[in-house]
Amino acid sequence: MHWAALLPRPLPGCASPIEPQALAVWALQFTPRVAGVEEAVLLEVEASLRLFGGSEALHALIETGASELGAQVAWAPTGLAALAFARQGASDGFAGPLTALLDAVPIEHLSAVARHQATLARVGCRTLGQARALPRGGMARRFDAALLTALDQAYGLRPETYEWISVPESFEARLELLGRADTAPEMLLGARLLLLQMAGWLRARQLGATAFTLRWQHDAMRSRAAGPGGELTIRTAEATQNLEHFARLLGEHLDKTELLAPAGELMLIATQVEPLVEASHSLIPDPAHSGASTRLALERIQARLGEACIRRPQLSADHRLEWMQQWSAAEPRRSPKPPPLHVLPLPTWILDTPLRLIERAHRPIYQGTLQLLLGPDRVEGGWWDRTQIDGAELTCNVQRDYWLAHSEHAGLLWIFQARLAGDETAWFLHGHYG
């Protein structure tokens, strides 16, 4: 499993760290498995790694946003291990074997063990590894069951269970400033933290905001004429989740706003939201849209992956099935359809190399004795073709009698008997019917 622990830390300019509940709402944009555990937030992101382009890309996204929100991030194969590493100040629980890394963590960083720190210290236990090395029977009798359970869960020996947080239906966040903001532009730093939380909530709900409102409370020492506070509603031209767009619009409006009194607390509300339809990243167009076709799909794939990635079948007037169709990166040539050259129905799949069949009493065998239904259909030619194999030039001339055969277990088959002079008259399996 792949876990992250987010531990709130004090931020410059803010009176207190971000609330764990607000941090959890922001984290829901990365995974629905988010839980509040004591003073921290745990994320189980195993199922999200591929969606965000792998562990390195997801680590970078979470760490960048968490750093701006003032949260310490740690990674580990278990949730409690990630929490212990975050409290210790470590960040990567994947830097080595989990057991070795966790054994060195002080016992005070795992709450269920920290409750018995005084007792454990008297027997010389300072780290989780030392506590785990004590006899389990004696620990079970002396301490509560939560201690052994927490140790087992941290080391991945027992499954972890948490109550996942759900995404709120609406967004409203508050922030108390450490100092008074005397001008409206001074509020932008704190407002950006609220905008970052709102952008995370929008992504978790797959919504876009068309309007949001920033409210501020005036300092308690304000004059009566200033009133309790003020507000500013920002509207966007279209629904969006873009943090930088929100911050730029808010900054431009705050530049033109005059505060009647210093502000000490901010509140942000997502006033108007609507479902946001993301641009499809699929290479195949949605058939529900008008004009969707195979040609549009090929154009999109070619534009994204390069011209050489598209290969088109090109038919040629050749009755040898291996050479009847070629794959080319060029646009198909518009040539007349070759006339039917086979009497028997052609198979759905052919083998790259015909498979030689064993014989019994001059009858071909493939998952039982084959019953010849239709044939023969003679194919002969290819004397004009040459190919290089192991430095030797060989001819591609063939003379084959094709048959439609039935196998009791394999169904209908396309087989042939080689008839070229000088070749052994052996039977070969060349294709299967759907």
Digit-by-digit pLDDT tens for the chain (434 residues) are: 899 999 998 887 677 888 999 999 999 999 999 999 999 999 999 999 999 999 999 999 999 999 999 999 999 999 999 999 999 998 889 989 999 999 999 999 999 999 999 999 998 999 999 999 999 888 888 888 899 999 999 999 999 999 999 999 999 999 988 778 888 888 888 899 999 999 999 999 999 999 999 999 887 766 676 778 888 999 998 899 999 999 999 988 888 888 888 888 899 999 999 998 766 656 555 555 544 566 667 766 776 677 677 777 777 777 777 777 677 776 555 555 555 556 678 888 888 888 999 988 888 999 889 999 988 888 887 777 767 666 666 667 788 889 999 998 888 999 999 877 655 678 999 999 87
The reported pTM is 0.64
Is 408 strand, coil or helix?
Answer: coil
- Residue 173, SS3 per DSSP: strand
Q: Phi, psi (5° rounding) for residue 28?
A: -65, -10
H or E segment at 6? strand 3-8
Structural contact between residues 110 and 99, judged by C-beta atoms closer than 8 angstroms: no
Q: Evaluate whether 7 touches 87 at the Cβ level (below 8 Å).
A: yes
Tell me which H or E stretch contains 172: strand 172-181
CB 364 within 8 A of CB 355: no
- Specify whether the backbone of 89 is left (phi greater than 0), alpha (psi in -120 to 50) or beta: left
Query: What structural domains does the chain harbor?
Result: 3-154 (no CATH), 172-275 (3.30.1490.100), 349-432 (no CATH)
Bridge partners of 401, per DSSP, are 378, 417
What would you report as the CA-atom Rg of the chain, rounded to the nearest whole angstrom?
A: 35
Q: Report the distance separating Cα 298 and Cα 406, nearest Å.
A: 38
pLDDT at residue 290 in the model: 43
Cβ within 8 Å of residue 384, ≥6 positions away: none
